[in-house]
């Protein structure tokens, strides 16, 4: 198929360089909204396109795929995570699904490291004092936080992002521990000076920080439930830049309020942007609006991967970032 003949529908406003390149290559229907389309709008645009470019805010479930019409042949997701797409049903209907892996590793690891530093050093409270004009000068006991050097970091999910976080944490003098579905090769463990724990429960009882870097799957939903949260030290902190559904947010909130955990830094939430209001009230919680991957460079690279996947598909070849049945 000629690239200009392939019809592409994009569900969200993308960075200008990405949109410009898409217009040069394809017959593209761009969105001028930074917000997700409602289901009816999605179903309308998908009827007349060969390729749909959704984002994490678009629910591409089995019923949507069933109603998507006969033209749709490729779902080129703008993002790494694809738990919002029913890949199995798409594949059954002959629709190829792709994503944009390996472009957000360093950006997410940078933010995770920033969050590891933020809560124990009480950065949120310090900024608030200045903004509220409540700071009256240095004092020996004012805003005392906790030292990072020498502490134990447990990494839940030691893929590319987990390893990138480990490299950064190691430079801060933090001891690296990890739990993963598969143990890393010994050379990688040695380079990161990391300790593998086959038992997540045993690791949780021994660490000072937990960084969550696992995907959201049926097996990781509420992996950090009330029972596991209670295994952690009262002086421990949780950092989540992965998926909010991995933590039982209500259980976490209760424990933070009762001081059964020292603090948390969260960039993702169990119910998307519907955040538990009790979390917002806590001084020992640092919240961000899902911005770990939010760099200009990363977003453009994501778009370039989407374009490569579409172009490869339109040329009759298998896209490089195809997602197999899951």
Structure token digits, residue 109? 């690891």
Fold equal for 3-103+295-314 and 105-287: yes
pLDDT at position 35 is 87
> Among 244, 167, 162, which Cα is nearest to 203's?
162
DSSP class of residue 200 equals H
Structure token digits, residue 228? 């596991």
Domain coordinates in residue numbering, the chain: 3-103+295-314, 105-287
pLDDT less than 70: residues of the chain = 1-4, 325-326
Q: Give the model confidence (pLDDT) of 147-158 as tens digits.
A: 999 999 999 999
Topology of domain 105-287, CATH: Rossmann fold (3.40.50)
Can you tell me whether residue 172 is helix, strand or coil?
A: coil
pLDDT at position 33 is 86
Topology of domain 3-103+295-314, CATH: Rossmann fold (3.40.50)
pLDDT at position 1 is 56
Cα separation, 45 vs 69, in Å, equals 10
Q: What pTM was estimated for this model as a whole?
A: 0.89
Cα separation, 68 vs 137, in Å, equals 62
Q: Give the model confidence (pLDDT) of 6-61 as tens digits.
A: 999 999 999 999 999 999 999 999 998 888 899 999 999 999 999 999 999 899 99
């Amino acid at each position: 198929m000629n690239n200009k003949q392939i019809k592409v529908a994009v569900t969200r406003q993308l960075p200008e360089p990405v949109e410009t390149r898409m217009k040069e290559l394809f017959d593209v229907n761009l969105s001028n909204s930074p917000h997700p389309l409602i289901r009816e709008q999605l179903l309308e645009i998908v009827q007349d396109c060969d390729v749909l470019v959704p984002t994490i805010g678009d629910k591409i479930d089995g019923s949507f795929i069933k109603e998507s019409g006969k033209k749709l042949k490729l779902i080129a997701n703008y993002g790494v995570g694809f738990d919002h797409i029913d890949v199995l049903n798409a594949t059954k209907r002959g629709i190829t699904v792709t994503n944009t892996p390996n472009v957000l590793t360093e950006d997410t690891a940078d933010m995770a490291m920033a969050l590891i530093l933020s809560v124990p050093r009480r950065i949120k409270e310090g900024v608030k004092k200045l903004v509220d004009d409540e700071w009256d000068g240095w004092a020996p006991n004012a805003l005392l936080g906790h030292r990072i050097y020498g502490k134990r970091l447990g990494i839940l999910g030691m893929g590319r992002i987990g390893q990138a976080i480990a490299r950064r944490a190691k430079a801060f003098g933090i001891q690296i521990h990890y739990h993963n579905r598969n143990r890393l090769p010994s050379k990688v463990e040695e380079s990161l000076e990391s300790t593998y724990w086959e038992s997540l429960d045993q690791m949780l009882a021994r660490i000072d920080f937990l960084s969550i870097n696992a995907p959201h799957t049926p097996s990781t939903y509420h992996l950090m439930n009330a029972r596991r949260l209670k295994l952690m030290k009262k002086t421990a902190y949780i950092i989540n830049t992965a998926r909010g559904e991995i933590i039982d947010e209500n259980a976490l909130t209760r424990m933070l309020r009762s001081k059964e955990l020292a603090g948390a830094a969260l960039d993702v939430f169990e119910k998307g942007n519907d955040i538990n209001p009790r979390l917002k009230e806590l001084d020992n919680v640092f919240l961000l609006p899902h911005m770990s991957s939010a760099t200009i460079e990363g977003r453009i690279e994501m778009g370039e991967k989407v374009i490569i996947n579409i172009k490869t598909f339109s040329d009759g070849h298998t896209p490089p970032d195809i997602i197999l049945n899951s």
